[in-house]
Amino acid sequence: MVASILMQNSFKKAFAILACAVLSGAAVVYVGPLALDALGFTSAGIRAKSFGAIMMSLASKLDFGGEIVAFLQSAGAKGLGSNAFFIGASVGAAFASICFWIKDKLKKD
């Protein structure tokens, strides 16, 4: 009986982690381009007077962070690419796993 409860609990956790992975991967694919556009990284380049323009200005003044601006500019111009789903899914699965780990630790204490 204990083994069946443990197996059922593990299955529920695995299913929840998988669901978080799929949902966060889909969110990155669909929400990512909207977020990039809202920050000012568009297909035509960095929009004037946007957060992206501020980032670019600070990166040039501080000589730091230019790689991040270049990556976001490229992602805004070309799209996030095919790996975006897998990166988002990995982050979602890791987040769900950490949440379950914290929940289990708090239960024991």
Tens of pLDDT, residue by residue over 25-84, are 888 888 888 888 999 998 898 999 999 999 999 998 888 888 988 888 888 888 877 788
pLDDT at 109: 59
Q: Which domain holds residue 64?
A: 20-104
What is the rounded CA–CA span in Å between residue 35 and residue 52?
11
Residue 75 burial by Cβ neighbours in a 10 Å radius (0-12, 13-18, 19+):
middle
The pTM assigned to this predicted structure is 0.63
pLDDT at 56: 92
1 pLDDT tier (thresholds 50, 70, 90): very low
When divided into structural domains, the chain yields a total of: 1
Residue 54 belongs to a domain: yes
- DSSP 3-state assignment of 106? helix
What is the rounded CA–CA span in Å between residue 91 and residue 80?
15
Mean pLDDT along residues 84-106: 83
Residue 4 belongs to a domain: no
Residue 38 belongs to a domain: yes
Residue 10 belongs to a domain: no
